[in-house]
Amino acid sequence: MAPPRMALVNAARRGAPGRIRIIAGSLRNSRLDVADVPGLRPTAERLRETLFNWLAPSIEGARVLDLCAGTGALGIEALSRGAASVQFVEREARVARAIEQNLARLKQTGGAVAALDAQVFLRGTARQYDLVLLDPPFALGLWDALAQQLEQGGWLSTAAWIYVESPRAPTPALPANWRLQRESHAGDARGALYRRG
């Protein structure tokens, strides 16, 4: 069940400009400006920290796809911790511009932003990624469709990692060869790390 609209709006208020910080790496404690857009739901700091602790041995040099990027905090955290490149995909033009501005301010040349709907982006020419950050707006219920596009469209390297953020229940129906490695929770959100097998 999708969370009520008010919960999404409250999440957006919690992610007001200056409230999101990069946790570790070369950009540690840098602040990200966040566009004031209803429904924008930044990943909780605790989930981000847990995810990148899990990924610590694998993030250096990784090619990353941040789908439904929102604030861009996940992808910028990946750059901070040594990812080679991050492709951000965000359909809201104002939010995509905010990511570009944060990348420029932080002098991050390894990030590129596509102001496109994620499903439209995945209908384009595939490039293989080592890590995909899959965190679509909860109200849209896009996990299953995006996961199938990623798997069938050639977007994933042989042993890619896929981070899926979703409500605690129900669990998204993901490709059978995505093997759950770890999961954690923060409030109503579930953060789960899968490995393509």
Q: Residue ranges per domain, the chain?
A: 5-196
Mean of the pLDDT values across residues 165-191? Answer: 93
pLDDT of residue 4: 38
**Cα 112 off chain centre by:** 14
In this predicted structure, what is the pLDDT of residue 134?
Answer: 96
Q: What is the DSSP string of the chain?
A: -PPPHHHHHHHHHHT-TT-EE--SSTTTT-EE-----TT--PPPHHHHHHHHHHHTTT-TT-EEEEET-TT-HHHHHHHHTT-SEEEEE-S-HHHHHHHHHHHHHTT-TTEEEE-S-HHHHTTS----EEEEEE---GGG--HHHHHHHHHHTT-EEEEEEEEEEEESSSPP---TTEEEEEEEEETTEEEEEEEE-
Q: What is the pLDDT of residue 42?
A: 81
CATH number of 5-196: 3.40.50.150
Q: pTM for this one?
A: 0.88
Structure confidence at residue 74 (pLDDT) = 96
Whole-number pLDDT of residue 121: 98
Q: Mean pLDDT, to the nearest integer, of 25-52?
A: 86
pLDDT at position 38 is 74
Question: CB neighbours (10 Å) of residue 127?
Answer: 11
Residue 178 has pLDDT above 50, yes or no: yes
CB 138 within 8 A of CB 156: no
114-145 pLDDT tens trace:
999 999 999 999 999 999 999 998 878 899 99
State the pLDDT at residue 7: 37
Residues 102-114: pLDDT tens digits?
999 999 999 999 9
Residue 187 has pLDDT above 60, yes or no: yes
**Tell me, what's the pLDDT at 100?**
96
> 30-34, 67-71, 165-169 — which is least confidently predicted?
30-34
